[in-house]
Structure 1
Amino acid sequence: MIIKGGRVIDPLSKTDEILDIKIEKEKIIDIKKNIDTSNISEEIIDASGKIVVPGFIDVHVHFRDPGQTYKEDLKSGSEAAIAGGFTTVIQMANTSPKIDNKERIIEHYKKARELPLKVFTVSALTKNFSDIELVDMEENYKAGAIAFTDDGIPNRNSKLILEAMDRAKKLGAIISFHEEDPNLIIQNGINHSEVSDKLNIEGSPTIAETSFIARDVAMAIYTGAKISIQHISTALGVELVKFGKSMGANIFAEVTPHHIALKDSAVLKYGSLAKMNPPLRSERDRKRIIEGIKEGTIEIIATDHAPHSNEEKALELTKAPSGIIGLETSFSICYENLVLNNEITLMKLIELMSTNPAKIYGLEGGEIAKAKIADIAIIDLNSCYKIEKFKSKSSNTPFKDKVLKGEVLYTISEGKVVYKK
């Protein structure tokens, strides 16, 4: 395969120029101007006027497989991912049953073999998310768990967390934390603010997030463990991560496209489609998150793709489950809100969505270079589109009727075209 005449953007090499890319089997074998195609029988993709970037990597998705496959499964989740330009994703462990032992990790990878992209899994941090007993971290890591997290159920057992960080450091593994203290939340999914007052509910105050971030930042400084703060939503949370980094802690933070694009008043317009954990926060929080991206405190954009059925999301606000889908809209939402708004460069956006996740989680991909894996997305920045039907089984997102800009035309995974618009 040869990709002709695209604007190749590679954050690792700082490449941003019109080039051709030649691919054989699963690898890139040449990158230069004007590769001769006169005597070549390979497939040629004309990328003129388009950008050619490393395939996106999402370190935080929920594919609901096993146990809740009426919402999503590995196949439908993968189809949504490649339609969004993703070539690697990491599934969370809050399935039914939880992915908390080596047998379930091995079973996941057996099912993932035939998927059109790489679908890794984390391991639960505690058995059945109980917060009482740690999983066999060493055994699960050896079986292929890419990280450890009880995402969805915040960890309250501080003594256990300290032990987990010590063990993770010895393994060289990362622990990701969902930072919300349930003891401080009356109703989850909606920010405690004038918005929740209008809805006549109490909601979730920012202290629920920041108190747990402060704990885990302090523990990371103390232990030297590598940790990630998931889907950060508060201004103070960003400041706490920044402080931890300044103290030499091995801390990273991820943010979702919806926390970049929306503030808490969105729930008044979209109802449960704008309900998620952690909730959308104030405009001040949103702006500080963007500053956190610009200054390098936040290094990963991850969707927290969380499918739910229409029936579930149609329940009254306090009873509807939290979470929205995001794989198919992620690039466009971030492109519009960050690049077109002159907050960051396109190069920086690709770094946040591909290069940094690969580097931080030790994954293949995240770059376009000779002898490297041919995981690539080709995108038309000028194309405006609206998704009429999602590849995901679910459609729970406030962006479902929005006209988006920046359409994924091709996704190439390990040298094969797995998605073509």
Structure 2
Amino acid sequence: MTTVIKNGTAYQNGRLVKADVLIDGQKIKAIGTDLTGDKVIDAKGKLVSPGLVDVHVHYRDPGQTYKEDIRTGSEAAARGGFTTVGAMPNVTPVPNTPELMEKMVEENKKKGIVHVFQYGPITNDETTDVIPDYAALKKAGAFALSNDGHGVQTAQTMYLAMQKAKENNLIVATHAQDDSLFDHGIVNAGKTAERLNLPPVTELAETTQIARDLLLAQKTGVHYHICHVSTKTSVELVRMAKARGINVTCEVAPHHILLTDDDIPKDNGYYKMNPPLRNKEDQAALLVGLLDGTIDLIATDHAPHAKKEKQGGMKGAAFGITGSETAFSTLYTKFVKNEKVFTLEQLLSWLSDKPAKTFGLKNAGVLEPGRPADIAIFDLEHEKEIKEADFKSKGVNTPFTGHKVYGSTVMTMVDGKVVYQEGAE
């Protein structure tokens, strides 16, 4: 049976065009005008996009499934219009061995309703100096490497890891954090930390590791990807590195361009994230970095926690914010519809084809005949309120609850199958 999505505005090859999309089984058969199919989905007034790609999510499965699991995490992704995600390995146990990696990959396919690619750790348990067998992890299904949540503290360890990752053609995606400089901080160093009387986090905790790792990446030739860059200096370092031909890419998280530490109203655990919200100068530099290509893509760092772990003040709260279900709508509303900082085409590229290209995900992020029918349909015309009750994720830890936004997801399809439909149970 064929299905045609009619009357929508499709994002294809970097452009928005009025077009129908014909789906035959799991594949896109044609994109054009006046197409017909056995079943019709009317997308009049709607945006038809390739399924979004998020290379940075935390699904907590196995070991921490009270926060999230593969099923709920992938349901949250689908509700946000994402059809492909990259799951971080900070689970229990960390997939240090090919046996554990194979099991995670199998569970991702079995339980996930979107495509879930699995990271392997840079080092065993993410906090040691022991480097696992990258060749075996890759063979077992790891698509990239990360210790996200932890910076690699020893330069020699990172140097060896990059050498071995290069040998195995694996991306090293890092959470840049020097623990000695982070020093148990909570809020970005500055007036907000002083106002709330909370331990400050200096930007040096991030930028000094990036500077170190860029030199190591230059020496080894590895593809070095920096997760959630958050400071002006970080952007400047990446810009200089790219000019020197270093194989570096980076991402920014939605919350770091949507909010600054000035937006933290009080000592509220929902605003505790790592890296922390930075200042307005950093925020402005991140936006410039996106627009000039220094920052390659947007990734949510979807980090769900149980309510009890985020209640009370920041000192006792876990780090992290959810993002799968709010990313597109919040970014579209603020930066495309209201402030016109960037175009809809640019936003879609940073959330679809750019992350797919950066991580070599050949069948993701594009709307083309012959490709998998991974498609998201968005409503750009009607305003909706972000409500906890609507979340598919187990985590509701976001300060965006109550915000009114445009760009809600109407439908998400994976391999031609509807995996999310607005209003459906």
Q: TM-score, normalised by structure 1?
A: 0.96
Q: Answer yes or no: is 1:314 the counterpart of 2:311.
A: yes
The alpha-carbon deviation at position 270 of structure 1 amounts to: 6.6
Cα separation, 1, equivalents of 2:133 and 2:67: 29
Is this contact kept in 2: 1:57–1:89, CA < 8 A?
yes
Partner letter of residue 189 of structure 2? Answer: H
Cα separation, 2, equivalents of 1:206 and 1:189: 12
Gaps of 5+ in 2: none
The alpha-carbon deviation at position 231 of structure 1 amounts to: 0.4
Equivalent residue pairs, number:
415
* Matching of residues 248-259 of structure 1 within 5 Å: 248-259=245-256
2:381 match: secondary structure: strand
**Structure-1 residue corresponding to 2:344:** 346
Q: Which range is displaced more, 405-414 or 103-112?
A: 103-112
* Matching of residues 149-298 of structure 1 within 5 Å: 149-269=146-266, 271-298=268-295
1:147 match: secondary structure: strand
Is this contact kept in 2: 1:260–1:337, CA < 8 A?
no
* The one of 54, 57, 64 aligned to 2:53: 57
Cα separation, 2, equivalents of 1:61 and 1:85: 14
Cα separation, 2, equivalents of 1:196 and 1:405: 32
Instruction: Show CA shifts across 1:276-327 (max 9, x none).
Output: 0000000000010000000001111111011111111114311211101010
The alpha-carbon deviation at position 349 of structure 1 amounts to: 0.7
The alpha-carbon deviation at position 383 of structure 1 amounts to: 1.8
Q: Which range is displaced more, 183-192 or 44-53?
A: 183-192
**Structure-1 residue corresponding to 2:10:** 8
Instruction: Show CA shifts across 1:80-122 (max 9, x none).
Output: 1100001011110000111222111111122122321111110
Cα separation, 2, equivalents of 1:188 and 1:60: 23
Is this contact kept in 2: 1:131–1:157, CA < 8 A?
no
Cα separation, 2, equivalents of 1:68 and 1:119: 17
* The one of 325, 333, 337 aligned to 1:328: 325
Cα separation, 1, equivalents of 2:142 and 2:320: 24
Partner letter of residue 121 of structure 2? Answer: A
Cα separation, 2, equivalents of 1:254 and 1:400: 24
Gaps of 5+ in 1: none
2:188 match: secondary structure: coil
1:53 match: secondary structure: strand
**Structure-1 residue corresponding to 2:408:** 407
Partner letter of residue 10 of structure 2? Answer: V
* Matching of residues 36-185 of structure 1 within 5 Å: 37=36, 40=37, 42-114=38-110, 115-185=112-182
Is this contact kept in 2: 1:307–1:396, CA < 8 A?
yes
Is this contact kept in 2: 1:190–1:196, CA < 8 A?
yes
1:141 match: secondary structure: helix
Q: Which range is displaced more, 269-278 or 210-219?
A: 269-278
**Structure-1 residue corresponding to 2:370:** 371
The alpha-carbon deviation at position 417 of structure 1 amounts to: 1.1
Q: Which range is displaced more, 55-64 or 124-133?
A: 124-133
**Structure-2 residue corresponding to 1:359:** 357
**Structure-1 residue corresponding to 2:395:** 394
Cα separation, 2, equivalents of 1:408 and 1:360: 25
Partner letter of residue 24 of structure 1? Answer: D
Partner letter of residue 349 of structure 2? Answer: E
Q: Spell out structure 1 runs of 4+ moving beyond 6 A.
A: none
Cα separation, 2, equivalents of 1:338 and 1:67: 37
Cα separation, 1, equivalents of 2:97 and 2:413: 32
Q: Answer yes or no: is 1:29 the counterpart of 2:24.
A: no
Q: Which range is displaced more, 244-253 or 270-279?
A: 270-279
Q: Percent identity?
A: 40
Is this contact kept in 1: 2:186–2:198, CA < 8 A?
no
Cα separation, 1, equivalents of 2:307 and 2:267: 14
Instruction: Show CA shifts across 1:382-406 (max 9, x none).
Output: 1211233111111100001111111
**Structure-2 residue corresponding to 1:416:** 417
Q: TM-score, normalised by structure 2?
A: 0.95
Cα separation, 1, equivalents of 2:181 and 2:14: 45
Is this contact kept in 2: 1:267–1:273, CA < 8 A?
no
Cα separation, 1, equivalents of 2:14 and 2:149: 36
Cα separation, 2, equivalents of 1:333 and 1:216: 32
Cα separation, 2, equivalents of 1:112 and 1:131: 26
Partner letter of residue 271 of structure 1? Answer: N
Cα separation, 1, equivalents of 2:260 and 2:127: 32
